[in-house]
Structure 1
């Protein structure tokens, strides 16, 4: 939901910034449809999961090809988490309540409050108009209304009432539509234009569209951008409706229609509801509507623009959403979704902010069952998952955080491996491998501190070998001399009383690779 709110805020703001320019070039109908598409994007927080291909590393200035070879972990005495019995209080205290649960509770309360407010307000409005409305039975008006219904190809029975408590013409009712008219003196032409306007609203199901927009504002009540979206959509709804009313009319009729709209402005001081069409939407909006209806220049169709907006809505945040998707399941592996759920249950809410000691204790309490033991033993020995630890978020959590922080000798050391076979086309390969050992001296440091240290060191070591010039691949001393300042810098930045670092590496130049003669430095 938060991902949806952020991505749709960006799309909404970009569209609103571009709208003044788009209004001069594209038809109101398509501008309104784009607004509805954006509203649907706000309302539906889930997007289709689309796997975007990740392009392989390419060198623009050399022909180096790097192959990262996953190696099995050299575990310490026991690969299994420490098992303790009884005391599960720490786990319950750590995971039963979190900041996200508080946020979720506030969000639900906000939704309930907003929904209750709009329902009560609409109910009050219906009571008022029921009490103060009179059905119009004038033959002339009924004949005009039926004629306009026939013109719009509408068969539904639509009532027409005069209501003294409303500000401007409007239509209410999902299944039993009613056109409400304030007690205004209107000419036949003015009345014809107003009734045509309201009937077009009915034909396009605009009340349902407004309900959808209202649902989006309730769902994202905490985000001010969603209210801007709903207001912009409401204005484009009226502008596009005006355009349909006046599409066959001359300049004189357009001016007359604008004067009709202006004539209701002094009356705007009474009952309203958001679940209706609304002939009047405010002075600023009226100005935009009048300028639009007086603009009779030919506009482009906005089909391409609509498709572009729809694709943007669907594809925005694909990276975020695919990340969320990876947090639940990895397809085509030896584990079922239920087993992944059990493994990821160890990724407690806010676990990165927990101390290493608390995280270890929480895991130990949770896995104290034969089923968990069997599952963890299978996972620790799964070479496929091991090979995915640098490309998949689940595997990274399991192998880079859960395993080293909960292993029997977790406080002594744990090794992280990366190896690269570096090839030049049609030539012998060179080989680089390094190991990182992190010794935890203070188990009160956070999991996040430990993880960030590991990530930073591994990223810099990976970047080092990936950026080696081809000339260095022939000489181990060149690589060693280039690497020493980097290793010294890493030790200066990350070695402290809480965490001890040991870093070993091996480089074999081109033509000298022998798996039995690898020596670490």
Structure 2
């Protein structure tokens, strides 16, 4: 349990650094690059948040001294080690309860969203909408069947679902131009698997719920998701078509949303007025932004490298005490460990010695109330 807690906290520290950099640089440096790049950075951080356990890589090295120094496995632990273990156990249970609470809360909201929507959705039978959907699917090379529904109380079109995706739009009239832009926006969300990525973000946020910086990442992730989608929608279109798309976006502000969406939906319109204003400004902005391909590769490499932990071993044979069968080699090391400690003690200290085993069956030698000795959790076998 203590291992899991330490790995989660260590990972949370790792991801805090890029989140802080995003917050500090988003208006000065990151704004010069495409929203696609910014969105990819958010995705990489999210994936790193999910990978809370390091991958051990053992590098064999030549040892000049062939004699096995088994006494290197002796470690000193303080007399408060038991209290530390209790404290870490409490931290673990608090963390796991918080994670479960956030996951269950989001699942409950998702269930309630579908339950409310069940009785207020209507399958669309308008030919021009169905034809527009097929044309946009063909343009984006999408072959999956995607149903489209009208929903009462919804202000903005959205893509919902993870496996069986559906497009839902407000129960109002749209002209052909508006439907074209709306469907293209939602189909791009579908093609990029944005709902799945938002699910991963939700899980990662639940794991790191104790880190306040995660809220910054959540907000920036959702902003860049929509802005990068807008960026892709208007790519290679004329200025008039871009203005029409911006008008459709602004026009959706007139309608009040009474049916709240959940984490797994990608909406055409977001409730935050500042984000809508920013989206319109970015859509109409004629400035060219940098792709930042080299930056994205560099960040991806850093994220991957941070997942690995490198250790060195003196030979290829290494055993762990977690194995079901303890080898004779390990027993001999235990005996040598005990004998070595005993040889360092005075006669008075020897009379106070107590030998017990921890939860992993490792020997712990205590001398009175002040000295503790423990064997490490791994040992090396001598080369035969």
If the TM-score is normalised by the length of the shorter chain, which range does it land in? 0.7 to 0.9
Give the Cα–Cα distance (whole angstroms) in 2 for the partners of residues 18 and 339 of structure 1.
46
Give the Cα–Cα distance (whole angstroms) in 2 for the partners of residues 339 and 111 of structure 1.
28
Q: Please list every run of 5 or more consecutive structure 1 residues that lacks an aligned counterpart in the other structure.
A: 54-69, 75-79, 81-90, 344-369, 382-402, 414-441, 449-521
Q: Does 1:409 align with 2:341?
A: no
2:63 alignment counterpart: none
1:332 alignment counterpart: 315
Q: TM-score, normalised by structure 1?
A: 0.57
Query: Computing the radius of gyration over CA atoms, which structure comes out larger, 1 or 2?
Result: 1
Q: Does 1:377 align with 2:314?
A: no
Q: Is the 8 A contact 1:34 1:309 kept in 2?
A: yes
Closer, same or farther in 2 for the Cα pair 1:279/1:409, shift >3 Å?
Answer: farther
2:266 alignment counterpart: 277
Closer, same or farther in 2 for the Cα pair 1:188/1:18, shift >3 Å?
Answer: same
1:303 alignment counterpart: 293
Give the Cα–Cα distance (whole angstroms) in 1 for the partners of residues 322 and 131 of structure 2.
69
Q: TM-score, normalised by structure 2?
A: 0.75
1:142 alignment counterpart: 130
Closer, same or farther in 2 for the Cα pair 1:174/1:161, shift >3 Å?
Answer: same
2:283 alignment counterpart: 293
1:5 to 2, 7, 12: 12
Give the Cα–Cα distance (whole angstroms) in 2 for the partners of residues 406 and 221 of structure 1.
49
Count of residue pairs the alignment pairs up: 337
Closer, same or farther in 2 for the Cα pair 1:143/1:340, shift >3 Å?
Answer: closer
Q: Secondary structure at the match of 2:321?
A: helix
2:21 to 14, 36, 60: 14
1:114 to 102, 105, 111: 102
Q: Is the 8 A contact 1:48 1:314 kept in 2?
A: no
1:233 alignment counterpart: 221
Q: Does 1:245 align with 2:233?
A: yes
Compute the displacement of 1:42 (Å).
Answer: 0.6
Compute the displacement of 1:404 (Å).
Answer: 5.6
1:38 alignment counterpart: 45
Q: Does 1:26 align with 2:33?
A: yes
Deviates more, 1:128-137 or 1:292-301: 292-301
Q: Is the 8 A contact 1:144 1:192 kept in 2?
A: yes
Q: Is the 8 A contact 1:207 1:277 kept in 2?
A: yes
Q: Is the 8 A contact 2:129 2:176 kept in 1?
A: no
Give the Cα–Cα distance (whole angstroms) in 1 for the partners of residues 103 and 25 of structure 2.
31
Q: Does 1:190 align with 2:178?
A: yes
Give the Cα–Cα distance (whole angstroms) in 2 for the partners of residues 410 and 278 of structure 1.
76
Cα-Cα RMSD: 3.9
- 1:64-103 to structure 2, matched below 5 A, reads 94=82, 98-103=86-91
Give the Cα–Cα distance (whole angstroms) in 2 for the partners of residues 443 and 231 of structure 1.
55
Closer, same or farther in 2 for the Cα pair 1:173/1:335, shift >3 Å?
Answer: closer
Give the Cα–Cα distance (whole angstroms) in 2 for the partners of residues 292 and 446 of structure 1.
66
Q: Secondary structure at the match of 1:21?
A: coil
Q: Please list every run of 5 or more consecutive structure 2 residues that lacks an aligned counterpart in the other structure.
A: 1-7, 61-66, 351-366, 374-384
Q: Is the 8 A contact 1:47 1:314 kept in 2?
A: no
Give the Cα–Cα distance (whole angstroms) in 2 for the partners of residues 24 and 96 of structure 1.
45
Q: Is the 8 A contact 2:55 2:307 kept in 1?
A: no
**What's the CA shift string for 1:432-485, capped at 9, x where partnerless?**
xxxxxxxxxx9655879xxxxxxxxxxxxxxxxxxxxxxxxxxxxxxxxxxxxx
